[in-house]
Structure 1
Amino acid sequence: MASIKDVAAAAGVSVATVSRVLNEHPSVSADARTRVLAAVADLGYRPNAVARSLRTDQTHTLGLVISDVLNPYFTELARSVEEEARALGYSVIIGNADERPELQDHHVRNLLDRRIDGLLVSPTDGGSPLMLDAARAGTPMVFVDRWIPGVDVPVVRADGRAAVRDLVAHLYGLGHRRLAIIAGPAATTTGSERVEAFRAALAEHGLPLPDAYTGQGDFQAESGRRVTEGFLDLPEPPEVVFAADNLMALGALDAVRARGLRVPDDIALAAFDDIPWFVHTDPPVTAIAQPTGELGRLAVRALVDRIEGRPPRSVTLPARLVARRSCGEPATPTPSLSPVQRSTS
């Protein structure tokens, strides 16, 4: 691989002149600039990004720490972040926290050590001292999907409360009265927000949320399976299980089928976080869809604004109910499309 010395020799200039050309310094003559760029092209020279960052104090690299790479929601989010960052001239390094606070902090620490320009995080809990310190130190940072209350960091997220209210009204209209929820971790803002929205929506229809109908999950499939098994063992099982994320919904579906039961004939199922293959299950799953791709793009723009000295802003977008047939809805001639299918049709 060619070195900067090779470029200087080929162009007939000093190494310092090559460095000034590569860093777009205005003091280089047009002739020298032309010769250096020609030598760079001929030799296929690629500047060392780390070395350059030491001079410019900028790496054009963003860090993204997501809660669970196996969750299709976060996979789609990461893809939109990478695409938008690339369009704006940045690369992305991704860390998977696997819903574990200690692994989240491991990735955050490593990313900061790599001298990234800014950090996107979907926090696994609300009490990471490392992220609190990083935010207070002025590290360019944006929270996406989840956030840490009281920390002065822009937040890009979807508000699902209206969609949860729409879901409960939809279920009530279908005649369901015994509604249960598989809640996410209370330490996450999305976990606590969704269960409280569900409780408030039930109250609007005069329906209780008994403790027996509230199961504690962790946003992963096994917890959805375990909680649903507990619901099915009750003397009076719920008529509907609402899983507060898609992986827990898949676990719930597994538990129902393992008992030889059918959705929605024996028990209905709804989910927060729509995923493309919910339209392909039998029956297709009623779900609350978030504008995932747009959240990723807006989060990158907010972070780049912060990095480049423009005032960033928090953004809240609405989620929406996508009614299909897993809650006893009547069959329709044309099945509902997933958000992914709608965007490509």
Structure 2
Amino acid sequence: MAGIKDVAARAGVSVATVSRVLNGHSGVRDDTRSRVLSAMAELRYRPNAVARSLRTDQTRTLGLIISDVLNPFFTELARAVEDAARSRGYSVVIGNADEQLALQDHHVRTLSDRRIDGLLVSPADGDSAVLREAVRSGIPMVFVDRWIDGLDVPVVRADGREAVRDLVAHLYALGHQRLAIITGPVATTTSNERVDAFRSALCEHGLPLPAPYIGQGDFRTASGRRVTSDFFGLPEPPEAIFATDNLMALGVMDELRRRGLRVPDDMALAAFDDIAWFPHTDPPVTAIAQPTAELGHRAVAALTDLVEGRSADSVTLSAHLIPRRSCGEDERSRR
């Protein structure tokens, strides 16, 4: 295999000049840069990334730990992170925590051992001593979508509170009075924020949120099915269900179908996190959409700022409501 000395000899320049071209330094004339690049192409030279990382103390690699790779929200987020990282000259190693704290901690340790330059993390349910230690050790880190209170780490997230308020107003305008919610894991910051926003919005319309109308899920389809079944065991089941995650919303639809019931005739349904097939289900599902791609891009920008020695601030974007037929239709729209 050709080495950097071979490239220098072919281009008629010093090894130091080849190194400056490889590292994108200024001060190299355009014609010299062209000769070096041509020599690299002719010799099929590929820089040794491991050797370079030892010299520069950087691997040009970011770690991304997501909560559930099967969740379409995180799949889209990972795609956006990879695109943004590639445009900045970084590669991405992804770890799937599968909503398990122990697996998340395993990925934090493994990626740290591989000398990644920084970590993007969407924390699983619960506190993590391993994650806290990684922050104390100085690994550049950014939380995306979810976060852990009390850690001095930039957070890139979407605020869905106003969108939840719009959803409740939409359901109320359609005549729904008994509204239930399926939450995520107890310690998950996004889940708690969505429940608080839902309860606050109900109060604005004089509607209660009885404890039996708060179903404990885990951001998985099976929990949506289970909680929906529990709702139908109540003396007075709810008229509408708000699932705080797209997979739990699919679970609601599964359980209703199993019972021979239809959305929205027998039960109205809305979800947090819009996904590509919600507009194509029967009926299309009302959803709160996050700017997922922008979240990924802004998270990478914040992390690379930290990696490259700059400061980075937290970023809060806005989610928005997309009304569809799963909550019912306004009588005026039928005329």
TM-score normalised by L of structure 1: 0.89
Q: Residues 202, 32 of structure 1: CA spacing in aligned structure 2 closer, same or farther, 3 A cutoff? A: closer
Root-mean-square deviation over aligned CA pairs:
2.6
CA distance in 2, matches of 1:83, 1:204: 42
Q: Is the Cα–Cα contact under 8 Å of residues 287 and 322 in structure 2 kept in the other structure?
A: yes
Task: Name which of structure 1's ranges 240-249 and 10-19 shifts more when overlaid on structure 2.
Answer: 10-19
CA deviation after TM superposition for structure 1 residue 30, in Å: 11
Aligned twin of 1:52: 52
Structure 2 unmatched runs, 5+: none
Q: Is the Cα–Cα contact under 8 Å of residues 289 and 321 in structure 2 kept in the other structure?
A: yes
CA deviation after TM superposition for structure 1 residue 307, in Å: 1.4
Q: Residues 4, 285 of structure 1: CA spacing in aligned structure 2 closer, same or farther, 3 A cutoff? A: same
CA deviation after TM superposition for structure 1 residue 332, in Å: 9.5
CA distance in 1, matches of 2:199, 2:25: 61
CA distance in 1, matches of 2:43, 2:214: 65
Structure 1 unmatched runs, 5+: 334-345
Deviations 1:284-341 (A, max 9, x none): 11111111111111111111111122221111111111111111124898xxxxxxxx
Q: After superposition, where does 1:76-225 map in structure 2 within 5 Å?
A: 76-225=76-225
Q: Is the Cα–Cα contact under 8 Å of residues 174 and 330 in structure 2 kept in the other structure?
A: no
CA distance in 2, matches of 1:325, 1:133: 47
Task: Name which of structure 1's ranges 20-29 and 75-84 shifts more when overlaid on structure 2.
Answer: 20-29
Aligned twin of 1:324: 324
CA deviation after TM superposition for structure 1 residue 19, in Å: 5.6
Q: Is the Cα–Cα contact under 8 Å of residues 123 and 146 in structure 2 kept in the other structure?
A: yes
Q: Is the Cα–Cα contact under 8 Å of residues 125 and 148 in structure 1 kept in the other structure?
A: no
Q: Is the Cα–Cα contact under 8 Å of residues 167 and 321 in structure 2 kept in the other structure?
A: yes
Aligned twin of 1:64: 64
Identical aligned residues as a percent: 74
CA deviation after TM superposition for structure 1 residue 68, in Å: 0.8
Q: Residues 264, 24 of structure 1: CA spacing in aligned structure 2 closer, same or farther, 3 A cutoff? A: closer
Aligned twin of 2:247: 247
Deviations 1:231-261 (A, max 9, x none): 1222211100110000000011000000000
Letter in 2 for 1:324: R
CA distance in 2, matches of 1:232, 1:80: 39
Determine whether 1:312 maps to 2:325.
no
TM-score normalised by L of structure 2: 0.91
Q: Is the Cα–Cα contact under 8 Å of residues 245 and 271 in structure 1 kept in the other structure?
A: yes
Q: Is the Cα–Cα contact under 8 Å of residues 126 and 149 in structure 1 kept in the other structure?
A: no
